[in-house]
Chain A
Amino acid sequence: MTTHYLVLSALLFVIGGVGVLVRRNAIVVFMCVELMLNACNLAFVTFARQNGNLDGQVIAFFVMIVAAAEVVIGLAIIVTIFRTRRSASVDDVNLLKY
């Protein structure tokens, strides 16, 4: 059983990681990050269940809280950028460079 959950978790993580690397739309990249976080959560919960303690579940809650906070800030930034530049592409946000 555990193996199936872990494979699913890894699959979700890879989908999220590829999405972050290849997509340009900031909202989509953001969702892919969330996907990776939740893949991790799945792995945590799986291990918690297998080991019979609550450590993994507690960590999963922490991750959710951090993710929620991150969403608040991240979405705010994305909306502000869209307002000023009329674009949500991460490739257009390249002013901070050498």
Chain B
Amino acid sequence: MEPAKIIEHSGGVIGVSWLLIALPLLGAAFLLLGGRKTDKFGHLLGVATAVASFVVGVLVFLQLLGFDPAERRRAVPLYDFIPGLTKMGLLVDPLSISFVLLITGVGSLIHIYSIGYMAHDPNRRRFFAYLNLFVAAMLLLVLADNYIGLYVGWEGVGLASYLLIGFWQHKPSAATAAKKAFIVNRVGDFGLAIAIFTIFTAFNTVSFAGVMESGADPSQGTLTAIGLLLLLGACGKSAQLPLQSWLLDAMEGPTPVSALIHAATMVTAGVYLVTRSGAMFFPEGSTAAIAVTIVGVATLLAGAIIGTAKDDIKKALAGSTMSQIGYMMLAAGIGPAGYAFAIAHLITHGFFKADMFLGAGSVMHGMNDEVDMRKYGGLRKVMPITFATFLVGYLAIIGFPLLSGYFTKDGIIESAMEYSSTLGWLAVLGAGITGFYMSRLVFMTFFGKKRWEADAHPHESPAVMTWPLIILSVGSIFLGGFLIVGNRFMTFLGPAVGQPEHLPSFHPFSVPGLVTLALVAAGAALAWFKYGAAEVPVTAPRGSFLTTFARRDLYGDALNEALFMRPGQWLTRLAVFFDNRGIDGLVNGIAAGIGGTSGRLRRVQTGFVRSYALSIFIGAAILVGAWFVVGNL
């Protein structure tokens, strides 16, 4: 089934859905411009705008549900954005509203959590201003009805991500990580920008509706080029291979940032981009769509392998995020059969990964900001709520039966299996590795003997931090089943992105599903023997070549350095050399030449009048002689 037509809409809550973006944006502006005067209540205002935005989002969602499914794509025109090029408007449809609810819902919970987490930070107000800025930009990204509006939001979240990764800018590592994220994202954003230029050249419009209905018939090559360029943009924002290297360093930011931006929302923008452009630029079986699936599978394996070797709890979770987004990309590349699973996994992942990141933050909060899991151990007794909620997130992500991740990840694996058995089995393998590294993380943190530093006095976090965890873990339990069983989400999303002719039915005991469960169980058992039952050394053992390989992020940084950084430095040095010796040499040489010649030439001015007379005489003689010669010709 093709996506439904977009209908112009006015009135009702949908008519004022720009409030979704305006509220957090105003919050950010007020907190940033208000300065230190707003320190006292800044965090409360930040939470209030996020929650208000969530309330508006729910109302919009309810009004949208009131329409016939085929009429659920509503365009809300706002103003003439760039006259002659595009109008600005919002597109409220099942796809964007799913994102809106995730961003504002999980976003609000993370805002609330941050009140406790950032309680002792003197810059808490600025933190909330940036968080609000992020929420506004992310909502613009998913609500804009054209690619340029999307791009503005895209850059906005990049900016917010940069500001928040480098929030503790007094730490050189944080400042460097922020810069790295920004620069790597630039590569992807460059691809997205070129893609939008090409779209405008090919279709003479940049709005989603315009591209769908333009009637222009660009060549297959153009469509593939646009698709691949969009994929490059998606890779940058979603930390997919080959632009994955920034995400692990991005963990330098405060933990709520890692949860909101680098797990639940911003990094999924690439999946949104692919899904939103899917019908047009990633049709089933096209080169671009195949590229998306390959990138997805490569990243889901790479992320999982990185996750197995990290001792830093946040970096292990970041590897896991990469891996899970790889699953979403894989599903998004499959086409209409996969879109619903991609977005459903995105939403459930938003819940259980935010749950685990906030849980990790809660652990760090109680452990003097220690991130090395080798110095945790046995925390389940002192942090019961954190442990329970983390356990739920853990079971959800490894796909424990009947929890959220079980349904959504299984959906992805099943549809990948149908699409290509190679990709399907690789996804199953990834799920097995997920079972290992997540179990390792849980066992090292919450089980085993205490390996705490002498001055660590772990304690349970305050209620303002534990309640968001509890709510997120409830979502992690039930959301997946609610969305997937009976194809509820697929039929909801269908009008926005298209859906397959035959709706898939859920088989609880299919072969791939059982193999996945077996592999996950094996991975968890292996982790138990190595990290649960056995003693975990406080200093990391050297490990084999493979361990080093995974610890060094599969040599991603080394590769980037060898391929881009060093040649870039050589190029710079060459340019400097050329500038100093070549350009400067030429300019200075001309100047020196003229100066030297003049210095010698002025010696002719001796001051002796008679020598001047002689030169006049010689000149006159030459002139007369020349005149004779010419005259006689």
Contacts and interface: CB of A to CB of B under 8 A. Distances in A.
Interface string B335-368: 0000000000000000000000000000000000
B607 A94 contact: yes
B607 A95 contact: yes
A interface, size bucket:
10 to 19
A90 interface: yes
Contact of A94 (B604, B606, B614): B606
Interface in B529-545: none
B613 A20 contact: yes
Given A20-B613, A21-B614, A21-B617, A98 B605 contact: yes
B461 to A, nearest CB: 87
A91 B605 contact: no
A4 interface: no
A97 B609 CA distance: 10
A21 B610 contact: yes
A90 B610 CA distance: 8
Interface in B51-106: none
B37 interface: no
Contacts of A21: 610, 613-614, 617
B605 A97 contact: yes
B603 interface: yes
B600 to A, nearest CB: 10
Interface of B is mostly: helix
A98 B617 CA distance: 21
B603 to A, nearest CB: 6
B608 interface: yes
A69 interface: no
B347 to A, nearest CB: 87
A22 to B, nearest CB: 8
Contacts of A96: 607
A98 B603 contact: yes
A74 interface: no
A91 B617 contact: no
B602 interface: yes
B617 A17 contact: yes
Interface string A4-23: 00000000000001001110
B615 to A, nearest CB: 11
Nearest to B603: A98
Contacts of A94: 606-609
B143 to A, nearest CB: 78
A17 B613 CA distance: 9
A58 interface: no
Contacts of A65: none
A64 B190 CA distance: 85
A93 interface: yes
Query: Could you say which of A24, A93, A94, A98 has the most chain B C-beta atoms within 10 Å of its C-beta?
Result: A98
A96 B603 CA distance: 12
Given A98-B602, A98-B603, A93 B609 contact: yes
Contacts of B608: 90-91, 94
Contacts of B614: 21
A97 B607 contact: yes
A3 to B, nearest CB: 19
Contacts of B606: 94, 97-98
A57 B251 CA distance: 105
Interface string A57-98: 000000000000000000000000000000000110111111
Closest 10 CB pairs of A and B: A97-B607, A94-B607, A98-B602, A98-B605, A90-B609, A97-B605, A94-B608, A20-B613, A97-B606, A21-B613
22 contacts: A17-B617, A20-B610, A20-B613, A21-B610, A21-B614, A21-B617, A24-B610, A90-B609, A90-B610, A91-B608, A91-B609, A91-B610, A93-B607, A93-B609, A94-B606, A94-B607, A94-B609, A95-B607, A97-B606, A98-B604, A98-B605, A98-B606
Interface of A: 17, 20-22, 24, 90-91, 93-98
Given A24-B610, A97-B606, 10 more contacts: A20-B610, A20-B613, A21-B613, A21-B614, A21-B617, A91-B609, A94-B607, A98-B602, A98-B603, A98-B607
